[in-house]
Amino acid sequence: MTKLPILLRPWDGPLGAPPFAQVQPADFLPAFDTAMAWQRAEIAAIIGQSTPPDFDNTIAALERSGEALARVRRLFWTLSSAQATPDIRAIEGEVSARLSAHSTAITHDEGLAARVAAVHAARHDAGLNTEQIRLVETVQTGFLRRGSALEPAQKGRFAAIDTRLAALSVRFGHNVMSATGAWILDLAANDLSGLPPSLCAVAAGRATACGAQGRYHFTLDRTDYESFLTFSARRDLREQLWRAFTNRCNGEAYDNWPVIAETLALRKERADLLGYAGHAHYVLEDGMAGTPDAANALLMQLWEPGKSRAAEEAAELQALIDQEGGGFALSPWDWRYYAEKVRRSRYALDGTAVTQHLRLDAVRQAAFDTAAKLYGLRFIRRADIAGYHPDVWAWEVTDDDDVPVGLLFTDYLARPEKHGGAWMGSLRVQEAIDGDVRPIVYLVANFAAAPPPDSAATRLSIDEARTLFHEFGHALHGLLSRVTYPSQSGTAVARDFVEFPSKFMENWIVSREVLSGFGVPDALIVAIREAEAYGQGFATVELISCALVDLAVHRASDAADDPHAFLAAELERLGMPPEIGLRHGFPYFTHIFDGGYASAYYSYAWSEALDADAFEAFVECGDIFDHDLAMRFRTEILERGDSRDPMASFRAFRGRDPDPMALMRARHLVPSM
C-alpha cells in the first residue's frame, strides 16, 4: 500500500500535535486537491443513498465529511497568518480560490440541498434533541445563505463572486503586510527622548539585526506605533510615525482603494442575488443583533456620550498643551502623549513603570493561574512538542484531576512573517460525534521582542497585557468546548457572541488580585484602577467610529462608486472628532476587508455589553474568583459552543436578558451601580 503524503495523514504527534517540522509549502496544493476529491466522494455517497434522508445519513454524514480537508486547511491558514514565508504567500491566493469553489459546489448541489431541506422540514417530528435540531437549522440556513435555492445562472454568478472575493481578501492582506514591513523609522540615540528603555532596547535589537549598530528602528506594528505615540517627547517624530501608519495602502504602492471598491461592489451584488437589502442585512441575519438597525442602535447609544466625553478630554489636553506653551492645536499624534501626562499627574500612573512589572512570561503565567482559579485548569509546558517556529511553545491543558482538555500553542513575539494584530485559531476542534476528540488551539500576538537571549522577558504595556488575556479568553472558549458536532464547537458561534468570552477575560488583568502578583506596588495598582475611567471618551470614539462606518459602507447602495469619498462624508456626518481619527483606516482595516468582521465590527461593542453584565455578577458576589460562579460560566457559556441559541446561553448564566446599561457603566459613561 502506498504511504499517504504527510499532510494527508492523521496527526500522530504527542497529544495529536501536527507534524510542523515535516511540512513543506510545495506539498499543500496536491494535498488540497486530494482532500477535496475525498470529500467530493463522501458527498456523492450521501446523495447517492437509496434510503430517505434523515439526520444520521445526511446531517451527521456531512459533519463527518472532509476530515482530511479540515486538517490541511487549518494547518495552511495557521501558517499563512503566523508564518507566511514567501512560498506560503505565493500559493495563498490559489488555495483560497480552490477552497471557495469547492465549498460553493457542495452547497449548490441540488441533490444534497434537497436532502438537507427534507431533514429540516421533518426536524420536529424526528425525535431529535435540541442540539441536533439547532444543527439542522444551522445547516439549512447555511445552504440558503450560500445560494442553494438560486437558479443555475445565478449560482454560476454567485460562485464567481465568491471566488473573486476570496482573491481580493488575500490581495488586501498581502498589501497591508507588505506596506507595514516596507517602512522603518530609523533614529539616533538623541531622538529617543521620553521612550521607555525596554522599547528602545527592542528598536536597537532590530537595527543591529539589519547591520545598523548604534541606530534604533521603529516599525508600523501597532505595539511600536501606540508606544511611540504615548511616550515620545518628539512631536515631529510622532507625526511622522502617525502619518506613515495611517497612510498605509492609501494610493501608490500597495494601494488598497481599488480592492475595497471591487469588494464592496461584489458584496452588494451577492446580497442582491440572495434577496437581501445589502451586505449588512445579509451578515447580521444570523447574529444576535439580527438587523443593522439593532446593531446601529447599540452603537449610537454609546456614540454621543462617547463624543461628549472625548470633547471634555480634548479640551483638557489642549489646556495642558497651552499651559506648557506648546503653541499648537491638539492633533491625533498628540493625544496619547498628553493623555499619558494627565495619567501621571492626576493618578500618579506611570505607564513606563507599569511596563517594567509586566514581563511577557509573567503575564502569560498570570493568565494560566487565573484559568486555574476560575475553572480548575492546569497548563504544562511540553518542550517535546515542536511548533511552526522556535518562538512557538506548546502547553498540555488538563483539569485539576488530570483529565485531558486539549493542547495550546502560544506565539507572542512579532516577526516579519506574521500578519499584524493578535488572534486565536483552531488546528483541531473539539467534537464527540465518533469519540472524544480534544481540541488544539493556538494564540498569536505581535509583541515587540526583547533582544535574545532575553525574549521571554519582553515587557508589555497594560493594553498589551489586556490583549494577551483577551486572546486567552478565545482559547478557553475553544479548549473548554463540550459539544457533539464539530461545526458547533468552541468559537463557531455568532460573530457578535464570539468576542464575549474574550472580552470577559480582560477583566482579570486589571484586577488588584492579578496585578499584585506581578509585584506592582499598591499605589500603582490604585493608580491603574482609578485611571480606568479616564480616557473612555477617546477609547469609545475609536471603537464605535470604526463600527459605525463599517455598518454604513455595507448598507449603502453606492459606496463602491467612491469608497474614499463615502468614508469622508460619513465621518463628517457623524461628527468624528478630528483630534482622534479612525483607529482602522479603510485601506488597512483588515478586520472587514481581510477577515470575518465585514458589517460585524460592531460585535466588539455588542460582546462587551454581554461581558460587562456577566462580570457584574462576579462583582455582586464579592469575589471575582468565585469558583462556583466561574464553573457556571464555564458550563453555560464556554462549553456550549453553538449547540443552542447564544441568548439562551447568556440567560442560563445570568438568569435574565442582558442589562443594556451595563456597558455604559463599564465604560464609565454613566455612574456605576
State pLDDT tens for residues 514-571: 999 999 999 999 999 888 889 999 999 999 999 999 999 999 999 999 999 999 999 9
SS3 29: helix
pLDDT at 453 over 60: no
Q: Measure CA 142 to chain center.
A: 22
DSSP assignment string, 554-571: HH-SSGGG-HHHHHHHHH
CATH class of 6-149: mainly alpha
pLDDT at 452 over 70: no
**What is the per-residue pLDDT for 350?**
87
CA distances from 375 to 73, 122, 367 (A): 31, 39, 12
Annotated catalytic residue 532? no
* Residue bearing the bigger pLDDT, 458 or 293: 293
Of all residues in the chain, the percent with pLDDT exceeding 70 is 98
Residue 672, number of CB atoms within 10 A of its CB: 10
State pLDDT tens for residues 466-488: 999 999 999 999 999 999 999 99
Cell, residue 490 = 468552541
Q: How far apart are CA 345 and CA 325, in angstroms?
A: 18
Residue closest to 538 by CA, chosen among 385, 373, 324, 316: 316
Cell, residue 642 = 453553538
**What is the per-residue pLDDT for 456?**
62
**What is the per-residue pLDDT for 166?**
95
SS3 407: strand
Cell, residue 646 = 447564544
**What is the per-residue pLDDT for 533?**
86
What average pLDDT score do residues 166-173 get? 96
CA distances from 643 to 57, 425, 483, 570, 639 (A): 20, 20, 7, 39, 9
Placement of cell 535589537 in the chain? 205
Q: How far apart are CA 319 and CA 325, in angstroms?
A: 10
Q: How far apart are CA 70 and CA 477, in angstroms?
A: 19
Q: How far apart are CA 295 and CA 119, in angstroms?
A: 32
pLDDT at 171 over 50: yes
Residue closest to 286 by CA, chosen among 600, 58, 636: 600
Q: Which of 471, 542, 570, 616 is catalytic?
A: 471
**What is the per-residue pLDDT for 660?**
85
Task: Say which residues have a Cβ less than 8 Å from residue 77's Cβ, sequence separation at least 6.
Answer: 425
Strand order in the sheet with 377-381: 377-381, 393-399, 404-413, 440-447, 423-428
Residue closest to 482 by CA, chosen among 428, 437, 425, 427: 437
State pLDDT tens for residues 228-248: 999 999 999 999 999 999 999
Cell, residue 557 = 447602495
State pLDDT tens for residues 408-425: 999 999 998 999 899 999
Task: Say which residues have a Cβ less than 8 Å from residue 259's Cβ, sequence separation at least 6.
Answer: 168, 171, 172, 175, 593
Q: How far apart are CA 569 and CA 550, in angstroms?
A: 13
* Mean model confidence pLDDT for the chain: 95
What average pLDDT score do residues 451-462 get? 75
State pLDDT tens for residues 12-28: 999 999 999 999 999 99
CA distances from 312 to 203, 231, 475, 483 (A): 35, 22, 38, 48
249: left (phi over 0), alpha (psi -120 to 50) or beta: left
Q: How far apart are CA 361 and CA 237, in angstroms?
A: 31
pLDDT at 401 over 90: no
Asked if 114 and 120 count as a contact pair (C-beta separation under 8 A), the reply is: no
pLDDT-based confidence at 53, cuts 50/70/90? very high
State pLDDT tens for residues 244-283: 999 999 988 899 999 999 999 999 999 999 999 999 999 9
Of all residues in the chain, the percent with pLDDT exceeding 90 is 92
Q: How far apart are CA 68 and CA 36, in angstroms?
A: 8
Element (H, E) at 423: strand 423-428
State pLDDT tens for residues 306-360: 999 999 999 999 999 999 999 999 999 999 999 999 999 999 888 888 998 999 9
Cell, residue 550 = 463599517
State pLDDT tens for residues 362-386: 999 999 999 999 999 999 999 999 9
Please state the domain extents for the chain.
6-149, 183-246
Asked if 188 and 200 count as a contact pair (C-beta separation under 8 A), the reply is: no
**What is the per-residue pLDDT for 1?**
47
pLDDT at 672 over 80: no
Q: How far apart are CA 638 and CA 474, in angstroms?
A: 9
State pLDDT tens for residues 494-513: 999 999 999 999 999 999 99
Task: Say which residues have a Cβ less than 8 Å from residue 624's Cβ, sequence separation at least 6.
Answer: 507, 508, 511, 513, 615, 618
Residue 431, number of CB atoms within 10 A of its CB: 24
**What is the per-residue pLDDT for 253?**
87
pTM attached to this predicted model: 0.95
